[in-house]
Amino acid sequence: MEESILQALATHYQQMRDVPLRALFDRDPGRFARFSLSCPDLLLDYSKNRLTTETLTLLFALARAAGLEQARDGLFAGEICNWTENRPVLHPALRRHSTQPVWVNGRNIMPDIQAERERMRIFSAQFRARALLGSGGKPLTTLVNIGIGGSHLGPEMITQALQPYGASGPEVRFVGNIDGADFQEAVRDLDPAQTLFVIASKTFTTRETLVNAQTARRWLQQGGVAESDLSPHLVAVTAYPERAQTFGVDPERIFAIWEWVGGRYSWCSAIGLSVAVRVGFDHFEQLLAGAQAMDHHFCTAPLEHNMPVILALIGFWNSRFGGAETLAILPYDHSLRRLPAFLQQCDMESNGKRVDRDGQVVTGSTGPIVWGEVGSNAQHSFFQLLHQGTHRVPVDFIGCCRSPYPLEEHHLELMANFFAQSEALMRGRTAAEVEADLRASGLADEEVQRILPHRLFPGNQPSNTLLLSALTPFNLGMLIALYEMKIYVQGVLWRINSFDQWGVELGKSMARQILVESRRLLAGEAVDLSRHDGSTAGLLRCFVAGQVAPPPGALPLDPTRGVAPGPHRGG
Ligand code: F6P
């Protein structure tokens, strides 16, 4: 069944592939209305993709044949959707407000979730009221979240996105990178006596986080906080409280998350504590409510009117048949500047897989390479390639009708660019249009012909536009859940496990081994590096020696000129 629908889609694509997008609009004045969908406060316009009603009919049939509705219901019912780790995937339960039970291994998890939410509410309110005191009796005023991946990207992105709601809140900073520069920069101007570190790590084994957490302890001690007085300055969020306790965190200061929350989906758990402290718990709850509204829409709307499903199917269409390898996320909202990074982890760690449920290699590409940057800045860096390069690059444009900042003229200019870019990418500029322009500017025939190819815009870059009424906590919650569910739908289409991440393990274990070898080399011991390839061993030796000595035969650099001298350089 699925095969025959895929075949029908392939045939249909052959009929569609040369139809210019602008022709689809010319033929159908109702295209925008037909191919857009809105919930209150969020509009998805997908009309600037190369598709017709027939395309969608086939894609919906494919989704049904792939068992999407059952898979969706299974996720929300707590079935084992992460089958390589034998776990249910229940981040939607974290944003539910209903008291209906959700069972995991015979235990209703809703009371645990509610209890943890209540602890977050109390803790964030106390912190915001400056009622939590450091060891010396001064109020804690700055929260530094130490975490990486899902224990960092979501809270950081959301805190930035909701800056107008947090402007009067406590200072909140984020340390993720094991590069000491990140920690140093974050604490540069802080007073240890008034600083709280939240060590956010589901596993409490992540090397980056533990190294930064150890450094935080030392920094506190060097700043005058005695070893025995550290606990007011430390909080942990983890699924392994005993590990946090061993580290020295007071059990009363450990917030729970659970194995059934994937790291990249954990912003809606206590991993979001930094968000609640910054913007206040009521706003955090609105964020959850927005996500829940999108979950509800996903669960109840027919596939034909279901935003995450439509977004997922379009992505599948553009990649499987349109040959697109990437997806550009372009938020035209400075507050959403970390959204591309957040979605990179969410999508690429979820769907960057090559084998299906049965261990068979998937046909075609799976998850796209997600990248992006905030508009309008991006227009002055990589948009040239989108307009005239050789790659097919689907884009998601994200913008808001209203800005919370009072510079209205800026918002108008920003949004003019937002609408112009998706139109330009779709329409392009034909030879006839370019020629008419060049002639009108008075160029001679010969010059017109010479310049013309350089001024052509092929157009036909597919894009979705997500237009929010405003970037409120509720709307942001909807937007995040929209992408989360879209990613799940695509995983179902490819029959892959969107909830494990075995691919991150190999590099981690090799780094552990290289760390041991580097230490031994630095201590002057003889280390056999023959298990490494020549490149890695050579680089490691250079690093340990602290010199990037040129390999034999390399051209020496002339420090006075900055270029290698030699007869072949001429001049
Ligand atoms: O290495 C990848 C990863 O496991 C992510 O999936 C996760 O979000 C991140 O590391 C951090 O993990 P933890 O919260 O357990 O420290």
Centre of ligand 1 from the C-alpha of residue 239, in Å: 12
pLDDT at 521: 95
Residues 6+ positions from 21 with CB-CB distance below 8 Å: 48, 49, 50, 426, 427, 459, 460, 462
- Could you say which of 97, 305, 391, 508 is catalytic? 508
Mean pLDDT confidence for 238-252:
98
pLDDT at 373: 98
pLDDT at 568: 45
Centre of ligand 1 from the C-alpha of residue 149, in Å: 5
Cβ atoms of 10 and 321 within 8 Å: the answer is: yes
Residue 376, preceding peptide bond in cis (omega within 30° of 0): yes
pLDDT at 362: 95
pLDDT at 566: 44
Residue of minimum CA distance from atom 9 in ligand 1 = 149
- CA torsion sign for 317, 321, 70, 362 is negative
pLDDT at 532 over 90: yes
Pocket residue to mutate for ligand 1, from 504, 505, 506, 510, most atoms within 8 A of Cβ: 504
pLDDT band (50, 70, 90) for residue 2? confident
Centre of ligand 1 from the C-alpha of residue 487, in Å: 18
Pocket residue to mutate for ligand 1, from 151, 350, 351, most atoms within 8 A of Cβ: 151
Identify whether 380 is a catalytic site residue: yes
pLDDT band (50, 70, 90) for residue 564? very low
Centre of ligand 1 from the C-alpha of residue 86, in Å: 18
User: For 447-504, what is each residue's pLDDT tens digit?
Assistant: 999 999 999 999 999 999 999 999 999 999 999 999 999 999 999 999 999 999 999 9
Centre of ligand 1 from the C-alpha of residue 454, in Å: 46
pLDDT at 547: 86
Pocket residue to mutate for ligand 1, from 84, 91, 148, most atoms within 8 A of Cβ: 148
Centre of ligand 1 from the C-alpha of residue 116, in Å: 21
Residue of minimum CA distance from atom 13 in ligand 1 = 201
Mean pLDDT confidence for 356-363:
95
pLDDT at 133 over 50: yes
Tell which atom from ligand 1 comes closest to the C-alpha of 147.
16
User: For 86-110, what is each residue's pLDDT tens digit?
Assistant: 999 999 999 998 889 999 999 999 9
pLDDT at 262: 97
Pocket residue to mutate for ligand 1, from 153, 177, 203, 269, most atoms within 8 A of Cβ: 203
The kind and range of the H/E element at 487 are helix 473-494
Long-range contacts of 92-101 (CB under 8 A, 24+ apart): 92/291, 92/292, 92/295, 94/261, 94/268, 94/269, 94/288, 95/268, 95/288, 95/289, 95/291, 95/292, 95/295, 95/477, 95/481, 96/292, 96/295, 97/288, 97/289, 97/292
The residues facing 104 across adjacent strands are 107
Identify whether 508 is a catalytic site residue: yes
Three-state DSSP class for residue 411? helix
Tell which atom from ligand 1 comes closest to the C-alpha of 208.
16
pLDDT band (50, 70, 90) for residue 40? confident
Cβ atoms of 201 and 238 within 8 Å: the answer is: yes
**Encoding tokens for residue 181?**
């520069």
* Phi, psi dihedrals of residue 551, rounded to the nearest 5°: -65, 155
Identify whether 349 is a catalytic site residue: yes
pLDDT at 493: 97
Residues 6+ positions from 513 with CB-CB distance below 8 Å: none
Tell which atom from ligand 1 comes closest to the C-alpha of 271.
14
What is the residue-averaged pLDDT of the chain? 95
pLDDT at 559 over 70: no
Residue 346's CB: how many other CB atoms inside 10 A?
25
pLDDT at 39: 87
Instruction: Name the nearest CA neighbour of 104 among 115, 96, 93, 95.
Output: 93
Centre of ligand 1 from the C-alpha of residue 95, in Å: 21
- Could you say which of 156, 349, 373, 484 is catalytic? 349
- Could you say which of 252, 380, 505, 568 is catalytic? 380
pLDDT at 551: 66
Distance CA 65, CA 87 (A): 25
Tell which atom from ligand 1 comes closest to the C-alpha of 264.
8
Ligand 1 pocket (Cβ < 6 Å) reads 148-151, 201-203, 206, 209, 263-264, 349, 501, 504
Centre of ligand 1 from the C-alpha of residue 207, in Å: 10
User: For 45-94, what is each residue's pLDDT tens digit?
Assistant: 999 999 999 999 999 999 999 999 999 999 999 999 999 999 999 999 99
Three-state DSSP class for residue 222? helix
Residue of minimum CA distance from atom 10 in ligand 1 = 149
pLDDT at 570 over 50: no
**Encoding tokens for residue 154?**
């979501």
**Encoding tokens for residue 95?**
């944003």
